Amino acid sequence: MSDPTHGWEALAGRFAAIRSEVGVDVVRRWAADLPPGGSVVDIGCGSGRPVALALAGAGFAVSGIDPSPTLLAAFRRALPGAPAACETAEASGYFGQRFDGAVAIGLLFLLPPATQAVVIGRVAQALRPGGRFLFSAPPVACRWTDTLTGRESRSLGEAGYRVLLEEAGLRLIDGHEDSGGNHYFAAVG
């Protein structure tokens, strides 16, 4: 039987302990283009630190989705009252609502390519017209072994993500690098 958390449930405590503020600056700059007080879904939210907390601190209504019960419990402690669902990104109902923005930091490349396409399609359906999507992945197509989970990771690269985004009705508009050298893609509906 496959692990819907892709190895993260077994590493939840370790992951939460080492999660840093790297990338928060990129998320804050991206969020500046969202409507004030808008709604954002954090897909693969983990413990909520640092992304969901930064967004909530900036006045956004944040919801979280993560398949790890341990990490989602930490998210609920960090953001009491924020909607949270213990489910995979590809199977999520996205709370039956549409959002102004969606973030998927450190998630897509952990999924098989076909699942990445499904998630991008689901995100597009969950965004309001003009909604924005920010996700992280290397800008070039590549494969590597994730250092925490030991599982294969795969970036589809800018060209591959551009195709999937366009097929889902989204348009790639920008790319960003954070202080840790991680790459982010920004898209709009």
pTM of the predicted model as reported, rounded to 2 decimal places? 0.90
What are the residue ranges spanned by the domains of the chain? 8-188
- The tens place of each residue's pLDDT in the chain, 189 residues long, gives 476 656 666 565 655 555 556 778 999 999 999 999 999 999 999 899 899 999 999 999 999 999 999 999 999 999 999 999 999 999 999 999 999 999 999 899 999 999 999 999 999 999 999 999 999 999 999 999 987 778 899 999 999 999 999 999 999 999 999 888 899 999 999
CATH of domain 8-188: 3.40.50.150
Q: Could you tell me the CA-to-CA distances from 171 to 33, 49, 109, 166 in Å, in that order? A: 15, 28, 19, 6
